[in-house]
Amino acid sequence: MEAEARYTFVGAAILVLLAAVAAGLFWLQDFGSRRDFSYYTIFFEHQSLDGLQLGGDVAVRGIKVGRVEDIALTESVNRVRVTVRVDRRVPVSQDTVAIVTRNLITGIASINLVTPANAGFPLVEVPPGATYPVIAEGESDADNLTGRFSQVGDLAAEAINNLNRAFRAENREAMGEALRNLRDLTAGLNKRLVTLDHTMAAFDRAVTSVGRASDRIASAAELAGRNIEPALADAQAALQAMTSAAQSLERESKGIAASIDRASDATDDDLTVIAMELRSSVEAFNRALDRFRDPASALLGPSKEQLGPGEH
């Protein structure tokens, strides 16, 4: 009985010792990991997580600084929560973003942490309802490029569909007719262009002839100008002589007009005197005639009736 009791005590002591060792190791492992690493949560909504696995790499500028600890879907199907463990020495700021990168050969994905040059404050605040600080999701250049390729592919497919619709039987017939009309139009244009070339050549020759004629006209005009200059000088001298003669004639005309005016005045005075004398002579002739008509009055003198006013 005493031997069995001893064995039982020894076995229990060994079990307790093993449990204590295991608990110590577990405590040391968990404390060491939390002391050397920081945990963060990333919510991915726009980037594809194809190829991302538990234990995947978390890198900064291509250097591995941690790993993926957990991947889980949230209430929203398009939102994935990823928990990562990062070396505590790696600075993670509020401006740090997470981007999914993928190896083109193996297809294995990893998470790359990108921090701008002017980093903000360290990321230590835990949002309400979260377990760890949350790193914002970034934009992957590869995803953007893939999206652009997808858009290009969609546009190409749509263009092909449009081409297929455009090259249907009735459209092909219409385009064939249009091409034939275009060919006829091109042939007509070629003929007209040949005619136009001939016309332009004739026009060029005409312009050259006009230029030569212009040169001749200019030479003739210059020669006529040199010949006409003496004639213009003679005409100018003649005009000056005519002007002087006209001025002299004007002065003579003024003198003659003055003489005529004076002669007219003298003539008027002489005519007035002659008219008065002629009137007196007529009156005397009338009186003599009256006396011859009445001999008595001629011998005895005029009667009272024949006397004029103021005569006795």
Q: Where exactly are the structural domains of the chain?
A: 37-140
308: pLDDT strictly greater than 60: no
Beta-carbon contacts of 127 under 8 Å, excluding residues fewer than 6 positions away, are 133, 134
Which pLDDT belongs to residue 56?
A: 92
CA dihedral 160, 164, 167, 169 (to 10 degrees): 170
Distance CA 267, CA 166 (A): 120
Q: Provide the whole-model pTM.
A: 0.41
The listed range with the strongest mean pLDDT (1-15, 107-121, 154-168, 262-276) is 107-121
Nearest of 109, 99, 63, 65 to residue 85 by alpha carbon: 65
171: pLDDT strictly greater than 60: yes
Nearest of 115, 135, 138, 140 to residue 38 by alpha carbon: 135
Give 223-271 pLDDT, tens digit per residue. Answer: 766 766 676 677 677 667 677 766 766 676 676 666 666 655 665 666 6
Nearest of 88, 113, 92 to residue 101 by alpha carbon: 113
Give 58-71 pLDDT, tens digit per residue. Answer: 999 889 999 999 99
209: pLDDT strictly greater than 70: yes
Query: Per this entry, what is the length of the chain?
Result: 312
Nearest of 86, 147, 142 to residue 115 by alpha carbon: 86
Which pLDDT belongs to residue 295?
A: 54
The listed range with the strongest mean pLDDT (9-13, 130-134, 288-292, 297-301) is 130-134
> What are the DSSP calls for 3-54, one per residue?
HHHHHHHHHHHHHHHHHHHHHHHHHHHHHHHHHHEEEEEEEESSS--TT--T
Which pLDDT belongs to residue 2?
A: 54
